[in-house]
Chains A and B, each alone.
Chain A
């Protein structure tokens, strides 16, 4: 009984829950190992909860015009784009772009973004993608701070 259930692969995702397909979890196209993925996941989630901003991380090619592509992605990043921060990394082109919405830019000025980008590019040049991203997220969330009225749990 159990074997027949496991033999056929069900896509168990609803629109609020992720799929639990274990058969496709391994050997995928993911560029990172599972511990690295969990570090990224924790950094994204905790910096978003700490600041109330919505940090998302895009990793892939950004095309010829990287800045406008990153801004297009930021506009479709879900949630409220004014409050969201997109971190777009294109390792093939060796470009990192940080895009902040206008409400997020008030708490996370461009100078702070540039500083975080500088520390990220240092790590990327040494070949450490995940460490650079985690440190950059930490710098940006430290700069944005924790608003007074925000409840995180």
Chain B
């Protein structure tokens, strides 16, 4: 085995492998989200997730009155506005009633739920 062969096998090939892995890890490829590490600060705003309702609008509810809002074809539900939204009602009144409803439901009143249970943990 000559000197050139020795260098090729024992120096160049390991160097090539190291460079390959370095490229794979250091290339700024896909923009990944910063992974959470314990102890680092949490800069994101508060988020509150809730489960989907059992008969949500997307799941298709089989009530008598269609609950499609914003469409003049369907009858408006009674709870939303003062009366039925006919096509002559005008969109401004309909819009304001919907906005009022959403503003009322966006901040629910606190309801005390009796003696609370639960647990607490730190890490």
The residues of A with any CB-CB pair to B shorter than 8 Å are 13-17, 29-33, 40-41, 44-45, 47-49, 54-61, 66-67, 70-78, 80-82, 84, 86, 90-92, 94-105, 108-110, 113-114, 116-118, 120-122, 124-127, 129, 152-153
Contact = CB atoms under 8 A, between A and B. Distances in A.
Contacts of B90: none
Nearest to B33: A33
B28 interface: no
Q: Is the interface of B mostly helix, strand, loop or mixed?
A: loop
Interface in B42-79: 42, 44-52, 54, 56-58, 67, 69-70
Q: What bracket does the count of chain B residues touching chain A fall in? A: 35 or more
B58 to A, nearest CB: 8
A66 B66 CA distance: 43
A16 B57 CA distance: 7
B114 to A, nearest CB: 3
B42 A91 contact: yes
B88 interface: no
Instruction: Specify the main secondary structure of chain A where it touches its partner.
Output: mixed
A118 to B, nearest CB: 7
Contacts of A121: 121-123
Contact of A78 (B45, B50, B119): B50
A24 B102 CA distance: 20
Nearest to A66: B120
Contacts of A13: 102
A101 B49 contact: no
Contacts of B38: 94, 124-127
B117 A108 contact: yes
Contacts of B117: 99-100, 102, 104-105, 108-110, 113
A67 B65 CA distance: 43
Contacts of A31: 33, 36, 42, 44, 47
B42 A60 contact: yes
Contacts of B67: 16
A99 B78 CA distance: 35
A15 B105 contact: yes
